[in-house]
């Protein structure tokens, strides 16, 4: 055999050549778990302050913030929004810090959606 000669029988003894494309299957990224930010009712935080918090930290308009505030007032708890964990945790901390700075006992928490 001379250099440069192609002899298929030496490369693939059976003679059956299978040509294919090797593909790598990539797992689809998992959607991050979602968490509800919940606001709890208390008898001391003014309704106007709650509306301001909902507008400021959850980008609600006046009508939507008022609706959520009334729901919290009547039912004892209400959903402010649903977010990935890090965002939900940040919003809870921001609301709690802001309420404390303004000397209100407003409580916010999160739970898995």
Give the tens place of pLDDT for each residue, 72-92: 999 999 999 999 999 999 999
- Global pTM reads 0.74
Give the mean pLDDT of 55-64.
Answer: 98
Cβ within 8 Å of residue 24, ≥6 positions away: none
**pLDDT confidence of 99, banded at 50, 70, 90?**
very high
Place of tokens 């505030």: 69
Fold of the domain spanning 45-113: Ribosomal Protein L30; Chain: A, (3.30.1390)
Q: Where are the domains of the chain?
A: 45-113
């Amino acid at each position: 055999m001379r250099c440069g000669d192609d002899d298929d029988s030496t490369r693939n003894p059976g003679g059956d050549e299978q040509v294919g494309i090797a593909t790598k299957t990539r797992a689809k990224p998992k959607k991050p778990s979602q968490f509800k930010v919940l606001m709890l009712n208390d008898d001391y935080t003014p309704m106007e302050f709650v509306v301001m918090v909902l507008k400021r930290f959850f980008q609600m308009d006046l009508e939507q913030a008022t609706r959520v505030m009334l729901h919290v007032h009547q039912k004892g708890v209400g959903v402010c929004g649903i977010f990935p964990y890090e965002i939900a945790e940040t919003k809870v901390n921001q609301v709690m810090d802001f309420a404390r700075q303004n000397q209100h006992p407003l409580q916010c928490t999160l739970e898995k959606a």
